[in-house]
Each structure stands twice: as C-alpha cells, then as structure tokens.
Amino acid sequence: MMAVEVGDMVTRRSYGKDIVFYVRRIVYSEKPIAQLIGANVRLFADSPLDDLILMDYRSKPANPSAIKSIISQIMLQRTKPSIKSHRRIEAAGFEYMPLPGKVLHIDGEEHYLEQCLNLYKNLNVPVIGLHIPESVQPDKIRTVLAEYNPDILVITGHDGLLRKQSNRDFLIHYRSSQYFVETVKQARLYDSNRDGLVIIAGACQSHFERLIEAGANFATAPERVMVHCFDPVFVAEKLAYTPFTQVVNLPELFHATISGKDGIGGIETRGKFRYGYPPVNNLGTV
C-alpha cells in the first residue's frame, strides 16, 4: 500500500468513495489525520490516513463533459436574438461595444479561486478575485466593495453541516454559513438595492434561507447538497451577460449549473449587460 502524501488525490473508504479530495496537510499525532479539500465541491474535511484510498494521478476529478456542455450552452446563448436585438444596437450601420457586468469574487480557498478565475477568463467575464478567509470576510467586505465597485459580488469558500445529524435550521451547526450571512448583511449596508449590487453567496450545504434573508440574490444550498466549485461562476456569467432590461430566467439559470436547483437558488434579478458607443478598447474591464 502506497503512503498518502500532501497533494495526493484521494477518496474516503468510509463514505463509499463519494467525493474526490486533495490532501492539503497531514497532522501527525497518535493517529495521523489528513486535512482534505474537495477537488470540485467546496468541502473541507478531516480523515484518518488509513481511511483514504489513493487515486491514480491521471484520474479526472471533474466531470469534463458536463462542464464542456454548460460552456457550450453559454456560448450558444450569447448568439441568440435576446442580446442581438437589444434596442441599443437596432440602429443600422453602427458598431456597438459589449459591456458585461463586472464581478468581484471573494473566496475563502485559494485552490478554488484559481480554478474559478481561469473559468471567468475562458468565459470572457471581467473579474477581480480575492482570497479572504471566511471568518475575515465580514470585516473586509465593505472596504473591498468601495475599492472595486463591482456589479456582481460572489462570496464563497468552504462550508458544510458540522455533523450529519445537525439541525440544519441553526447557523451554529454550519462551518461557515454564519460568516457568509454576516458578509452579505455588511454588503447590503454598502448597497441595499438587489438590482444594484447583485450578490451570490454560499458554498457546500450552506444555509440557503438565511443567506437570502440577509440580502443575497442567489445562494446555496436549498437542499444542503454539495456544490460544484464552478457553479457560482456559471451564475455570475449569466448575470453578467443578461441585458439590464431583462430579468434573469431562473429555471434556465439553474439548469446551466452542475448542482442544479438543489444546489443553488435565488430570486428574480435583472441582468448587468449593456452596450456602449462608440467602441473603446478595455472599457469593460475591472
């Protein structure tokens, strides 16, 4: 049996190999414990080393076909008349400048943030990404909002019910939901208009209802399921490219995520996409 090392890809025997993790750290004590982060889902976990099954490094932790399918749907959607027939480009003979909404993505986990920033880049969504630990996010949020002035705010990181039998109604039974809720409240003190600053908040198994009550437009996780790390990006992209004259189609939005409506939900919200004139290079960047 090969020894498990930091950086290895593993699954847990006792959980039926349900989730793929990376080994972030090994704590050597009487019984060595590995600290794990989900390869795709926003989950932080501890596990005895003898419960881990080492995976082949060539294994693919993501579902590339599902992700490619969603990206293909996104690119197809951008060619549809809903944007091309926008009233600001009806005048013949003029070339207009597309201005998608600007995203500020705050993530408690650098590993996920890096993956998400690469996806934003591939989707041509203007974004600033900041690594801020979950417990610090409430204190930092108003300062960074004032600095970057985004159209769309993503607040995420690690979360999860602390015990399988925990009462899911109470924030104290979650790893990070209380921090996300307070961060949303602070963001709403900065901008109370849900069609002004659009907020997407939460991670795996987060307290969906409290996040929406706090002021989020979209949040995880209605059914307390694991949420793919790319899902907040797919929601942000939809908002960034939906014209400001339109309300985002909610069923269509959640269909274009990996976790679906069990993993993310929200309220009616206007898009952030606009056209400008005349065309100017880099005007749409953060």
Least confident of 10-24, 199-213, 255-269: 10-24
Summarize pLDDT for 144-185 with one digit per residue, the tens. 999 999 999 999 999 988 876 678 899 999 999 999 999 999
User: Would you say residue 157 lies in a domain?
Assistant: yes
- What pLDDT is recorded for position 82? 52
Let me know: does 152 contact 200? Beta carbons within 8 Å.
yes
Q: Is the pLDDT of residue 105 over 90?
A: yes
Domain shared by 127 and 260, yes or no: yes
Q: Is the pLDDT of residue 132 over 80?
A: yes
Structure tokens at 66: 């599902």
Map 31-69 to HEC letters: CCEEEEEECCECCEEEEEHHHEEECCCCCCCCCHHHHHH
The number of folded domains in the chain is: 2
Q: Is the pLDDT of residue 2 over 70?
A: no
User: What is the arithmetic mean of pLDDT over 106-120?
Assistant: 94
Q: Which of 108, 97, 102, 105 is nearest to 37 (CA)?
A: 108
- What pLDDT is recorded for position 58? 44
- What pLDDT is recorded for position 261? 93
The number of beta carbons lying within 10 Å of the beta carbon of residue 9 is 19
Q: State the CATH number of the domain containing residue 193.
A: 3.40.50.2300
Confidence of residue 276 (pLDDT cuts 50, 70, 90): confident
> Torsion angle, CA of 178/184/187/189, rounded to 10 degrees?
-80
For residue 99, the SS3 value is: strand
Domain shared by 105 and 13, yes or no: no
Percentage of the chain surpassing pLDDT 70? 88
User: Would you say residue 2 lies in a domain?
Assistant: no
- What pLDDT is recorded for position 281? 67
User: Would you say residue 255 lies in a domain?
Assistant: yes
Task: Tell me which of 68 and 211 has the higher pLDDT.
Answer: 211
Domain shared by 154 and 242, yes or no: yes
For residue 152, the SS3 value is: strand
Classify residue 69 as left (phi > 0), alpha (psi -120 to 50) or beta. Answer: alpha
Tokens 């996040």 belong to which residue?
211
Let me know: does 42 contact 229? Beta carbons within 8 Å.
yes
Report the side by side order of strands in the sheet with 9-12. Answer: 44-48, 33-38, 21-27, 9-12, 52-54
pTM exceeds 0.85, yes or no: no
Range of the domain at 194: 64-276
Let me know: does 101 contact 272? Beta carbons within 8 Å.
yes
Q: Is the pLDDT of residue 275 over 50?
A: yes
Domain shared by 24 and 153, yes or no: no
User: Would you say residue 225 lies in a domain?
Assistant: yes
Structure tokens at 165: 């039998």
- What pLDDT is recorded for position 97? 83
- What pLDDT is recorded for position 267? 97
- What pLDDT is recorded for position 85? 46
User: Would you say residue 284 lies in a domain?
Assistant: no
- What pLDDT is recorded for position 94? 64
- What pLDDT is recorded for position 38? 81
- What pLDDT is recorded for position 241? 94
Alpha carbon 285 to chain centroid distance?
Answer: 20
H helix runs in 191-228, sequence order = 208-214
> Count of alpha carbons within 13 Å of 138, Cβ hemisphere only?
11
Confidence of residue 196 (pLDDT cuts 50, 70, 90): very high
User: Would you say residue 4 lies in a domain?
Assistant: no
Q: What is the maximum alpha-carbon separation in the chain?
A: 75
Write the CA distances from 130 to 17, 29, 103, 183, 208, integer angstroms: 32, 34, 11, 14, 23
Domain shared by 22 and 69, yes or no: no
The residue type found at 44 is F
Summarize pLDDT for 61-84 with one digit per residue, the tens. 445 677 888 888 888 877 765 555
Output the average pLDDT for the chain: 87
